[in-house]
Structure 1
């Protein structure tokens, strides 16, 4: 059964690992990779990635992407969003800390942020406006 707007936005706001898909060019299937993301209901979502990464190059060329998140318990549920890139800006240490705290145990955040800031190279934050939604809760199987 399809989720209501409120249900799908609340589900997307939970800290799931997303599958990001972006056009990889003629003769290629979409690039699909796991990624951390940030989202608040009613707003744009954002991801952080390397400035010179293939992922970012493809996202900038396509101008849009899709994200899918899912779970299998307590019910099978998924939400997929697709939309345009509305802004790409240099990542800040504060954004790295925010997204890291969303996914990591509190005691691991500082160490990870310190390592990532020093070793992952220049990062960008890509803001995406969700335009199309596909969602469902299949219940318990």
Structure 2
């Protein structure tokens, strides 16, 4: 059964690991990689990635990307969202902290943020406006 708008937005707002997909070069399948993301119901989705990464280059060329999140317990449920890139901006340590706090235990955030800020190279924040949704709750097996 398809999820209602409220159900799919609430599901996407949870801290799942997403699979990001974006068109790739001619002769290549779409790039699909796991990624952390941020979303609040009714808002835009944002991700953080390396400024010089293949992922960022492909997103810039395509002008859009999609995210897929799913769970298998307690029910088989997924939400896929696709839309245009609204903007790309340099990452800030505050955005890195926000994203890290979504996924890591509170006592691990500061250490991770310090390490990532010093070692991951220049990062960017890419915002996407959810335009197309596909969702389902298949129940439990």
Indicate whether the TM-score tops 0.5.
yes
Aligned counterparts of 1:25 and 1:93: Cα–Cα separation in 2: 32
Does residue 29 (structure 1) correspond to residue 29 (structure 2)? The answer is yes
**Corresponding residue of 1:73:** 73
Count of residues in Structure 1 that have an aligned counterpart in Structure 2: 141
SS of 1:42 mapped into structure 2: coil
**TM-aligned CA deviation for residue 27 of structure 1:** 1.2
**Corresponding residue of 1:5:** 5
**Corresponding residue of 2:58:** 58
4+ residue runs over 6 A deviation: none
**TM-aligned CA deviation for residue 31 of structure 1:** 0.2
Aligned counterparts of 1:112 and 1:129: Cα–Cα separation in 2: 28
Aligned counterparts of 2:85 and 2:116: Cα–Cα separation in 1: 24
**TM-aligned CA deviation for residue 25 of structure 1:** 1.9
Aligned counterparts of 2:26 and 2:53: Cα–Cα separation in 1: 19
SS of 1:15 mapped into structure 2: coil
Identify unmatched segments of 5+ residues in structure 1: none
**TM-aligned CA deviation for residue 55 of structure 1:** 0.4
Identify unmatched segments of 5+ residues in structure 2: none
SS of 2:80 mapped into structure 1: strand
**Corresponding residue of 1:135:** 135
**TM-aligned CA deviation for residue 26 of structure 1:** 1.4
Does residue 90 (structure 1) correspond to residue 129 (structure 2)? The answer is no
Aligned counterparts of 1:75 and 1:9: Cα–Cα separation in 2: 17
Cα shift readout 1:24-71 (whole Å, capped 9, x = no counterpart):
121111000000000000000000000000000000000000000000
